[in-house]
Amino acid sequence: MIRFNTSKEMGIFILSLALLFSPASAEPNHRIISVNGTVTEIIYTLKLENQLVAVDSTSYYPKQATSLPNVGYQRTLTTEGILNFKPTQIIGLESAGPPATIQNLKDAGIPLKLFPDEFKLETPTYRVLEIGKLFGKEKEADILAKNIKEQIQKLKINKTNIKVLFIYSRNPSSVFISGTGTAAHAMIELSGAKNAVNEFSEYKPLTSEALVKANPDIILMPEKSALGFGGEKAIWEINGMEFTRAGKEKNLILLDDLLLLGFGPRLPLALKTLNDKWKLIE
């Protein structure tokens, strides 16, 4: 199994961004609730955290975000849980829900900014610039966006024929694999490898037949998902895994959920990390 120690690189990256910005001088004029981890990460990077009053359960980076009140998972929000904090701005992704809660919040007159669930190289800079405009941090957002863009332009992604199967699971009874049109598919392709399954879009339950047919070289999973599934031993015990190259060679890559799927400011780091590991296994 391969785990990535990206803490050093992350620290250098975040420190370099922090040095670009002067300390926040304006008094808080918003009561922001972020219902997405990547949005929360951008808010912290733009030094807007003093205006955050609550976050969702995917907001665990940076660590300070975990000390804020939590309104639950971004797709299972409750109207009362949000309104209790008297927000003046809610911000997240269009996948936030359920729809009834989102409609209730709109009816209550709470401003909402929900970004499209896009998985492109331009996605992080778009989100940064939009959040900067929303909260009067245009200059800082422009610096951050240019920094991200420059890092992406400097990336040297080597293409490979390595086949990667992305598995997502929170418990052993519910295991899914990623087809096209997902953040996982985009990350595999943008980092130079190939998705082992392209016959369908979105996610489908994993079957032993599909696993053997895909015959992946590598299994890719978010760390929290692997933990919920039961760890590495449980992964290799999936029916059919022993007939794949990944299973025979125990090629498993675990990466922080938000870094892997967030399409936030650390996207260049995530792509470089994956591409480096593809080359090692190839």
**pTM of the predicted model, to two decimals?**
0.88
Helix, strand, coil proportions of the chain in percent (round to 5)? 45, 15, 35
Q: Residue 143 has what pLDDT?
A: 97
In the chain, % of residues over pLDDT 70: 90
32-123 against 163-280: fold identical: yes
- Per-residue confidence band for 174, with pLDDT thresholds at 50, 70 and 90: confident
Q: Read off the tokens for 54.
A: 């609550």
Please report, for the chain, the start and end positions of each structural domain, with discontinuous segments joined by +: 32-123, 163-280
In the chain, % of residues over pLDDT 90: 85
CATH 3.40.50.1980 fits 32-123, yes or no: yes
d(CA 244, CA 250): 10
Which tens digit of pLDDT belongs to each residue from 209-233?
999 999 999 999 999 999 989 999 9
d(CA 268, CA 273): 9
Residue 219 CA: distances (Å) to CA of 48, 159, 235 = 37, 18, 9
The highest-level CATH class for domain 163-280 is alpha beta
Task: Report angle CA 246, 278, 179 to the nearest 5 degrees.
Answer: 65
Which tens digit of pLDDT belongs to each residue from 92-147?
999 999 999 999 999 999 999 999 999 999 999 999 999 999 999 999 999 999 99
Which tens digit of pLDDT belongs to each residue from 58-94?
999 999 999 999 999 999 999 999 999 999 999 999 9
Which tens digit of pLDDT belongs to each residue from 251-277?
999 999 999 999 999 999 999 999 999
